[in-house]
Amino acid sequence: MTLYYPLYINGEFRDSSKKSDIINPATGKSFAQVSVAEENEVEAAINAARQAFDNGTWRDISLSERKNFLLKISQGILNKTQELAKLETLNTGKPIKETTFMDIPSAAKTFEYFANNLEKYLKDETLELESAQSRLLRQPQGVVVLIVPWNYPLLIAAWKMAQALACGNTVILKPSSLTPLTALELGKIIDTVGQPKGVVNIITGSGDSIGEALCSDKRVDMISFTGSNSVGKRILEYSARNVKKLIMELGGKSASIILKDADLELAVNGSLCSIFLNQGQMCTAISRILVEDNIYDKFLEDFLTKTKRIKLGNGLNYETQMGPLISDEQRRKVMAYVEKAKTEGAKLLYGGKIPNDPSLKNGFFFEPTLFTEIKPSMQIFQKEVFGPVVCVNKFSHLEEAIELANQSDFALAASIWIKDTSKALDLANKINAGIIWINTYGMFYNEVPYGGFKQSGFGKELGREGLLEYTRLKNIVIDKTENAKPLVNYWYGF
């Protein structure tokens, strides 16, 4: 039986005349269908969010009431963990171990964290000045459009929505047209907690068809986008028609630096996770591994051995370590990067092709792929592949490693593997990246901000800094001069 999901607008589940099939990337077959928003539905969603903010109760309810709504959403996600994990695996192809133990519980914890900390972070401040008092108020931005990518559909939706709602905004969530199902399930959870109508609206559709209308409309006060650099640039153009607040997380080409005194087993295992988790379809994927020449051969030997052991398969199988890519189109893009690397002279050490296992033939599978002998000028070293493709380079001295790591238009993430923490901190200070992990990879915490620089975008998600992105800061100045007679009041009053 095919699953079906309508849109969620103004507290109601709404069908549209246009429908879209949702493909399981492990089988290449449709298993669900969703309504697709067209002009009327986009207009209805924007209007609902605008009316709910301007004339509704949401932004004016107490912080404790807002907290309770977020906690109910968190618990609603936890109550459906098994169902959501299976659905996320069916829709994205990623192994069910990842969705069960990482994606779904992490999404719930995000709502819980911001629920429990919104009163602390959104507290008004009072500053005593020389002859006045300033009161700094954190207020919601207004209507916020949340645009979520296909690699972490529920988790990134939770990041954005939890923060936006915590601050009192109303939202329009647009999940990727490839992976909208868990976002639409989130709409069901929200509907059951009694949130006021219009506060949350969830509409599906391609960026090409509805992105311009959402991002250029003057009734929208803010856009929070995670996705590709090329789409991000289009959103910047759309939003320029009516100035609004933006958060842009646009991907990366992240590097790790592995020094000779690193724990080699730790570095190898961490590096495997950093590029092959979620089939390499991560903004923070460490696709450039830089290894000091003293340990390069040993690292490469161990890394290659373990890469060959990675088990590809249907994500619903708990033994699967790597699932398919999201689509045939994405696989063709990855293959094009691989072929370009070979023509430019990079050495393909392993993988680089569609697996010949008959049981995988209908899905969008691609082998974990390892290149060596890469020059910094090569496309494979510079461009974001967004697939299970890694370059392993050697370096002789630390300055060379720093130069190679920073030789990118992106500046999102990095890893450093070394036993000397003080040396690692000094090195981290010289690496151009928004988040740097030392002797680990991919540790995201709700307590601390995440976001990059350069072509990786701007703005932060998570932490106090991320939450406050979804607010506007108002400064109210109260005169405190003696007898309430400031000089400015008499400047022309003689």
CA Rg, the chain, in Å? 24
Question: Are 304 and 370 in a shared domain?
Answer: yes
Tell me whether residue 444 is in a domain.
no
Tell me whether residue 488 is in a domain.
no
Contacts of 248 (CB under 8 A, 6+ apart): 225, 232, 235, 236, 457, 458, 459
pLDDT band at 2 (very low <50, low <70, confident <90, very high): confident
Question: Are 70 and 194 in a shared domain?
Answer: yes
pLDDT tens per residue across span 269-306: 999 999 999 999 999 999 999 999 999 999 999 999 99
According to DSSP, residue 153 is labeled: H
Is residue 405 within a helix (H) or strand (E), and if so which, with residue range? Answer: helix 398-406
Q: What is the mean pLDDT of residues 234-261?
A: 97
Question: Are 310 and 162 in a shared domain?
Answer: no
pLDDT tens per residue across span 377-427: 999 999 999 999 999 999 999 999 999 999 999 999 999 999 999 999 999
Residue 150 near residue 329 (C-beta atoms within 8 A): no
Q: What is the mean pLDDT of residues 246-253?
A: 97
pLDDT tens per residue across span 158-187: 999 999 999 999 999 999 999 999 999 999
Q: What is the mean pLDDT of residues 440-465?
A: 97
Q: Is the pLDDT at 477 greater than 90, yes or no? A: yes
Q: Which of 313, 452, 332 is nearest to 386 (CA)?
A: 332
Question: Are 56 and 172 in a shared domain?
Answer: yes
Q: Is the pLDDT at 487 greater than 70, yes or no? A: no
283 is catalytic: yes
Question: Are 235 and 381 in a shared domain?
Answer: no
Task: Specify the number of domains making up the chain.
Answer: 2
Q: What is the mean pLDDT of residues 464-472?
A: 98
- At 494 the pLDDT is 58
Question: Are 94 and 237 in a shared domain?
Answer: yes
- At 169 the pLDDT is 98
In the chain, % of residues over pLDDT 90 = 95
- CATH code of the domain covering residue 430: 3.40.309.10
Tell me whether residue 408 is in a domain.
yes
Number of Cβ within 10 Å of residue 493's Cβ equals 6
Question: Are 126 and 62 in a shared domain?
Answer: yes
pLDDT band at 69 (very low <50, low <70, confident <90, very high): very high
Tokens of 286: 């460490």
Tell me whether residue 490 is in a domain.
no
- CA 88 from chain centre, in angstroms, equals 15
215 is catalytic: no
Question: Are 260 and 246 in a shared domain?
Answer: no
What SS3 state is found at 271? helix
This model's pTM is above 0.75: yes
- At 374 the pLDDT is 97
DSSP-H helix ranges across 241-392:
264-276, 293-308, 328-343, 379-382
Active-site pick, 88, 112, 185, 249: 249
Q: Per-residue DSSP letters for 81-145?
A: HHHHHHHHHHHH---HHHIIIIIHHHHHHHHHHHHHHHHHHT--EEEE-SSEEEEEEEEE-SEEE
Residue 383 near residue 338 (C-beta atoms within 8 A): no
d(CA 245, CA 199): 19
Question: Are 179 and 288 in a shared domain?
Answer: no
Active-site pick, 283, 292, 367, 469: 283
Query: Mean pLDDT for the chain?
Result: 96
The torsion of the CA quartet 269, 370, 414, 433, rounded to 10 degrees, works out to -170
- CATH code of the domain covering residue 128: 3.40.605.10
Q: Is the pLDDT at 491 greater than 90, yes or no? A: no
Q: What is the mean pLDDT of residues 339-361?
A: 98
Q: Is the pLDDT at 1 greater than 70, yes or no? A: no
Q: Which of 126, 129, 141, 59 is nearest to 473 (CA)?
A: 141
Residue 388 near residue 367 (C-beta atoms within 8 A): yes
Tell me whether residue 285 is in a domain.
yes
Q: Is the pLDDT at 66 greater than 70, yes or no? A: yes
Question: Are 233 and 282 in a shared domain?
Answer: no
Tell me whether residue 481 is in a domain.
no
Range of the domain at 174: 3-250+456-476
- At 89 the pLDDT is 98
Question: Are 11 and 135 in a shared domain?
Answer: yes
